[in-house]
Amino acid sequence: MKLEKRFVDRHVQMLRDEGITFVTDANVGVNVDINDLKEANDAVVLAIGSTVGRDLKLPGRESEGIYQAMDFLTKNTSEIVKNGYTLKDSSQYINAAGLDVVVLGGGDTGNDVLGTSVRQGAKSIVNFELLPEPTATRAANNPWPTFARIKRIDYGHAEVIAHWGKDPREYCISTTGFVKDEETGRVKGVNTVKVEWTSKGGQWSMEKIPGSEKVSFKASL
C-alpha cells in the first residue's frame, strides 16, 4: 500500500548484490533454531509482526461479510503482485468495490484497510475506534520523550477524506454485536454503544453510556 512492490524488489536485490542473504518462510523456534542464528551471526534482531488477528466473539460474528483485516490485506496484496499491480480475479481476494465498509479499530492495520477499501472502490467507509479522540498536541501526562499520543492523519485517512470530504473515524464506540440478514446470511448492521473514559489515580477505566445503544450502521456489507 505504501510503496509499489517493484521498488521494494529493486532495493532488496541491491542488498542481495551486496552479499546479504534473505531467508523467507522462517518460523523461529519451529524451522529455524535461535541458537543457530546466534552462532552464525554477529547480532540478531527479532522484528516480529503478527498476522494473527484478535477476533471479536460477539453475537452475529458468524455472518458472511465479516473478515479479519490481515486476510483482507494479504489477499489484496498477493493478487496485485501476482498480476503486475492490478486486481484481476475477484475470487482470489476480498473485494470491497461497491460495498459499505465498517472498519473496527484503528492503528496502522486499520489505516491500511481504509486505504485498500478506497482503492478498491468502496461505496462508503466508516472507522469505529474504542479509544477517545487524541488531542492535536501532547497532553500534560504525555511528555517528551514518550511516544506522542496525538491525532495523526495517515495516508488511509487522507484518501478517505479526499474521496468523501470527511474523516472516517468515530471515537469512543464499542461494538457489541452484528446484525445478520436471515435470508442471505450476510451482515447488515453493527450494534454499538458509546463509551466514556475516566482517569482515577492514573488508571483509565471505560464505562458504557446508558441509552446510547444503537445499530450504528445498517446496509449490505
> Which residues, 6+ apart, have CB-to-CB distance to 130 below 8 Å?
105, 172, 173, 174, 195, 206
In a domain, 79, yes or no: no
Nearest alpha carbon to residue 129 among 203, 35, 71, 197: 197
pTM of the predicted protein model: 0.82
Q: Which residue, 170, 172, 190, is CA-closest to 181?
A: 190
pLDDT in tens, 124-182: 999 999 999 999 999 888 999 999 999 999 999 999 999 999 999 999 999 999 999 99
When mean pLDDT is compared across 20-34, 64-78, 129-143, 188-202, the lowest value belongs to 20-34
Domain identity same for 60 and 12: no
- Judge if 107 and 18 occupy the same domain: no
All three cell numbers of 145, joined, read 520523550
Closest CA to 124 of 15, 24, 219: 219
Q: How far apart are CA 84 and CA 77, in angstroms?
A: 11
Residue 79 has pLDDT above 60, yes or no: yes
Residue 158 lies in a domain: yes
CA 108 and chain centroid, separation: 6
**Do the domain assignments include residue 78?**
no
Query: For the chain, what is the total number of helices (H) and then of strands (E)?
Result: 5, 7
Backbone angles phi, psi at 36, to 5 degrees: -65, -40
Specify whether 7 is located in the same domain as 60.
no
Residue 195, domain member (yes or no): yes
Our count of domains for the chain comes to 2
| CA pair distance 9, 20, nearest whole angstrom | 14
pLDDT tens figures, 9-33: 899 999 999 998 888 888 888 998 9
Residue ranges making up the domain that contains 136: 54-65+96-218
Residues 110 and 199 in one domain: yes
Contact 89, 82 (CB under 8 A): no
**Do residues 19 and 60 share a domain?**
no
